Amino acid sequence: MSTFFFDNNLSPRLVDGLGAFGENVQHLRETFAPDTKDAIWIPQVAEWEWILVTRDKRIRTRPLEIEARVRSGLSAFVFTQKREPVLWGWVELVVRRWAEIKRLADDERQPFLIAIPERGSLERLR
């Protein structure tokens, strides 16, 4: 069973809700200081073989984060929707996509980087 690690850009309350339903989830703030840089926690999360869930679209384009992700072998799901939902929009989006996320986490060859659009199929980017 995979552990899903939610980045600081998603609400800890969302993670608490998933955990209350028995999902194996962790939030960044449960393990690291809230201001810990991505290049620091990415290798550790990869070492634990946890799977990142983030809404940070730039994790695909910033050189330090790319290097840390690729070097460590971190698998990640990244939300790529065009509009920024408010809190309940995030809850709806995560819940609507959760079964798909879990299935792909089990089925895809790791490491992977998978885009989660608001609508349409999840897409493997790497």
For the ranges 21-35, 61-75, 104-118, which has the lowest average pLDDT? 61-75
Domain boundaries, the chain: 4-124
pLDDT in tens, 75-97: 999 988 777 777 788 888 888 89
- Cα-Cα-Cα-Cα torsion 73, 48, 2, 97, nearest 10 degrees, comes to -60
pLDDT of residue 88: 81
Predicted TM-score of the model (pTM) = 0.89
What class is the 4-124 domain? alpha beta
**50-62 tens-digit pLDDT:** 999 998 777 766 7
Of 58 and 124, the structure prediction assigns the larger pLDDT to 124
